[in-house]
Amino acid sequence: MTTEDMTANDLRRRFLAYFEERGHTIVKSASLVPHDDPTLLFTNAGMVPFKRTFLGEEKRDYVQAASSQKCVRAGGKHNDLENVGHTGRHHTFFEMLGNFSFGDYFKALAIEMAWDLMTRVYGLPEERLWASVYEKDDEAYDLWSRNTGIPEERIVRLGEKDNFWSMGDTGPCGPCSEILIDQGEAIGCGRPECRVGCECDRYLELWNLVFMEFNRDESGKMTPLPKPSIDTGMGLERMAAVIQGAKNNYETDLFMPSIRQIEALSGHAFRVSPEVDVSMKVVADHSRAAAFLIGDGVLPSNEGRGYVLRRILRRAIRYGRTLGLTRPFLHQTARKVSQVMSAAYPELLESDAYITNIIKGEEERFLATLDAGLRVLEDALDELRAQGASQVPGDLVFKMYDTYGFPVDIIQDIVRDDRMSLEMKGFDAAMERQRFRSRRDRPFYPEGSAYAKLSAQGIKTDFLGYECTRSDSQVVMIVRQGKDVEKAEEGDEIELVTAGTPFYGGAGGQVGDRGRIYGQGFEMAVSDTLKDPNNIIIHKGNILRGQIAAGQTVTLAVDEDRRLAIAKNHTVTHILHAVLRQVLGDHVKQAGSLVAPDRLRFDFTHFAAINEETLQKIETLVNDRIQQNVPLETEEMLAEEAFKTGATALFEEKYGDSVRVVAIEDFSKELCGGTHTDRTGDIGLFKIVSEGSVAAGVRRIEAVTGTVALGLAQKAFHTLNALAETLKTKPDELVARVEKLMAHQKALEKELAAIKTKAQAEASDQALSDIQVVDGVSVLAQEVSVDTPAALRDLADNLKARMKSGIIVLGSKANGKVLLVAVVTKDHLETYHAGQILKEVAAVVGGGGGGRPDMAQAGGSKPEKLTEALAAVYEIVAKRGAYRQET
Ligand SMILES: [Zn+2]
Ligand SMILES: [Zn+2]
């Protein structure tokens, strides 16, 4: 195989095989949604899943690993979104190949293997390869020079900015070293000072080797790590481009199938006009991110990860529009991605129907407002251009966002060539005003809200409920009928705010606490507790006795049993979430939840119904975790600490707020402000009650815990026992017993049907004896007792068969109505018409009807006239016969 024939799949496979042969454990790509770092928006590097191993917080049963990791850089700190499409190397989604040593081999072997793989396995020309090292890292310099074929003039020393890496402000850090390829003067900027480190594409970085050598403490002091580690990263797309001789990443076999498809859909050709190329690159890139993100359980929404996905989808749709793609197309290009990537990620193809469904829904929603929005925006921009404006006003940006669903990126893309910037301050202010309005519009917010006054003063309730369920505090505000009042008395329905409270205000799916608030002669029953968006906790309830005034000190006591029941159901949702991911896959993501004292509801992304067996497995695994009885650990950090790791878009929290990370060993880690049990064992028992669908791609599990689960099991057991007793058997033999009973019942039904048929025959024998002959025609008119028209017809048919020749009219009283049927045998059809005969008969019982000449059915409303009607039959036949014979 020549180098240029190497596909991206070959490249990935050879990388992993190379390190596997050298004792590395091949680790499957982790989800794009990091499960053990809830503060990180997306997995954005190969080392992310190993972060805790590098920090020494997690032990693995291997010390060398290699992986090809799915990564997304969009939103948060690493935001490449607006560059994607305009360059050949930026992507929202990419794969990172890497080998890792956790305190095992270090610089020498890392460099040796990297060089060997690049030159021997990938066949890159040695004479074009360069290496960079950190300026003070003589060790790495010497290793390159001694152990590889690189001459010293192609080893460059670079400064801290390029070649020193750190995990954060504190923690592991160290020098790094890169392998670069010289793509030739033709590719470069052509400036005389062009060399390694230049911004242009001539010296392209291919592989970064990080030598984690030191630990940096808070004062900035670096001490050598006892066991230095290796973390390396090589972008698959870039490597594929170099090996396949492509000018940029898009011209590799990773992207070209998508580009070809976009050409076919749009009728435009790639590599003809720069504008068209940008659009095609955006669509090709974003289709990949969309397919992989949705495959990992992210759904488009207005916050956090979901909003990043929505921005990516909408940006692609807008660029598709510039290619003339005015109907939904992105779900098709995403399906192509699933096909192209299926060799390495077969799970993508398995959830293909789900992924395309979600994308198509988003396309239809956005296309509905896109045209109108673009018109409004272009008109406004024309005006601004005419004025020579350099900024797009924040109000306009907000209007586009709010009315037409345009993410800010889209407006940025549109004004890119105008060199206009967006006035983000104005946008943020408009956004803040809207948030305020939506808060005010909440149902329990009275107009001119009393609470807005409190938050304007910077007052927030101190939540004490993580530590206790009872405490004393001062009344800050009393609200009665929407108005801020000085005091309230017995019988009043009020809302009460205190400086601090152990009461949990309903949020994040967990319902609010109930309990009592009391003081000197005063007692209030709290029926619900709410939390407003500014973290003011509001107790709602009824004053049972006494009076209360602002400024007084009261004792707040949460209903502890209820709180504990809620905590059990809450804690178990964390376990359930983790178990679902373990059993069903990484695409499982929480889509909603309700945590009440008596039950819990957990909604999550998943493609199909869960069968009984799997559901039982999930239930068992959750109960296993409960029985392990491990403690829950809570880490509090300031929102800004979390922001630093790239979580900007993840929270509604503001700077200064603290966020809580709740962990159950290394098994579950979630950002959560709710109240939990101390240990998993406190949950007692977990029982799933139902599983079903709530929306496309969203499933719901309902379950119970603790004494409710016990009660449920006891009740079921009791029912079984009672049933067994009634059936005189043992519970274990119930199924067999019931099956036997049902078989017996079937036999009885069959027997009964035979008896009925026999009785009917006997009844018709009886009837036949009542035949009268009118004008030589046998006529039978008789009342019978059957209760459905079908049965009446059957009886008439039966009599007809036995009579062979004649006219039959039967009547029956059923449910206060009359049923009638008339039959004329074939040999009398020339003269008689069943429908006409019955019409006259029915008239007597206050009904109507008719039918065919040989058979007719009718009804009537006067059962008391049935005898009279049937008696008239003979006359009608005689009259009809005479009439017919005359004509
Ligand atoms: Zn250059
Ligand atoms: Zn929680």
Ligand nearest the Cα atom of residue 201: 1
Query: What's the 182 CA to ligand 1 centre distance in angstroms?
Result: 11
Per-residue confidence (pLDDT) for residue 1, from 0 to 100: 46
Residues of the chain under the 70 pLDDT cut = 1-4, 76-80, 436-449, 639-640, 642-657, 882-887
Query: What's the 693 CA to ligand 2 centre distance in angstroms?
Result: 23
Ligand nearest the Cα atom of residue 507: 2
> Hey, which residues does 174 pair with through a beta bridge?
165
Q: Closest Cα partner for 465 from 556, 338, 599, 381?
A: 556
Per-residue confidence (pLDDT) for residue 481, from 0 to 100: 84
Three-class SS state of 856: strand
The radius of gyration of the chain from alpha carbons, rounded to an integer in Å, stands at 40
CA 7-11-15 angle, to 5 degrees, is 170
Query: What's the 292 CA to ligand 1 centre distance in angstroms?
Result: 34
Beta strands, E only, 388-492? 391-392, 421-422, 462-463, 470-480, 483-485, 487-489
> Hey, which residues does 804 pair with through a beta bridge?
none
Rounded Cα distance between 295 and 345, Å, is: 10
Query: What's the 183 CA to ligand 1 centre distance in angstroms?
Result: 11
Query: What's the 184 CA to ligand 1 centre distance in angstroms?
Result: 10
Ligand nearest the Cα atom of residue 672: 2
Q: Closest Cα partner for 374 from 405, 343, 347?
A: 405
Three-class SS state of 553: strand
> Hey, which residues does 198 pair with through a beta bridge?
none
Query: What's the 145 CA to ligand 1 centre distance in angstroms?
Result: 25
Rounded Cα distance between 162 and 131, Å, is: 12
Ligand nearest the Cα atom of residue 674: 2
Rounded Cα distance between 717 and 719, Å, is: 5
Ligand nearest the Cα atom of residue 199: 1
Query: What's the 689 CA to ligand 2 centre distance in angstroms?
Result: 21
Per-residue confidence (pLDDT) for residue 237, from 0 to 100: 97
Per-residue confidence (pLDDT) for residue 644, from 0 to 100: 59
Is residue 528 within 8 A of residue 542, CB to CB? The reply is no
Ligand nearest the Cα atom of residue 567: 2
CA 207 to chain centre: 35
3-state SS of 505-516?
CEECCECCCCEE
Ligand nearest the Cα atom of residue 196: 1
Three-class SS state of 150: coil
Tokens in use for 143?
Answer: 């290793």
> Hey, which residues does 211 pair with through a beta bridge?
230
Matching residue, tokens 């008395």: 489
Is residue 851 within 8 A of residue 857, CB to CB? The reply is yes
Per-residue confidence (pLDDT) for residue 645, from 0 to 100: 54
Query: What's the 374 CA to ligand 1 centre distance in angstroms?
Result: 39
Per-residue confidence (pLDDT) for residue 772, from 0 to 100: 87
Per-residue confidence (pLDDT) for residue 4, from 0 to 100: 63
Query: What's the 193 CA to ligand 1 centre distance in angstroms?
Result: 7
Q: Closest Cα partner for 616 from 626, 608, 624, 604?
A: 624
Is residue 390 within 8 A of residue 381, CB to CB? The reply is no
Query: What's the 206 CA to ligand 1 centre distance in angstroms?
Result: 16
Rounded Cα distance between 458 and 639, Å, is: 18
Ligand nearest the Cα atom of residue 182: 1
Q: DSSP readout, 594-619?
A: EE-SS-EEEEEE-SSPPPHHHHHHHH
Note every long-range contact of 757-765, with CB atoms under 8 Å and residues 24 or more positions apart, other chains counting: 760/794, 760/795, 760/798, 761/798, 763/795, 764/795, 764/798, 764/799, 764/802
Tokens in use for 598?
Answer: 């008596």
> Hey, which residues does 470 pair with through a beta bridge?
557
Ligand nearest the Cα atom of residue 677: 2
Q: Closest Cα partner for 687 from 714, 710, 717?
A: 710
Is residue 92 within 8 A of residue 308, CB to CB? The reply is no
pTM: 0.70
Query: What's the 466 CA to ligand 2 centre distance in angstroms?
Result: 12
Q: Max Cα separation, the chain?
A: 130
Is residue 636 within 8 A of residue 467, CB to CB? The reply is no
Ligand nearest the Cα atom of residue 193: 1
Query: What's the 197 CA to ligand 1 centre distance in angstroms?
Result: 8
Ligand nearest the Cα atom of residue 634: 2
Rounded Cα distance between 349 and 365, Å, is: 25
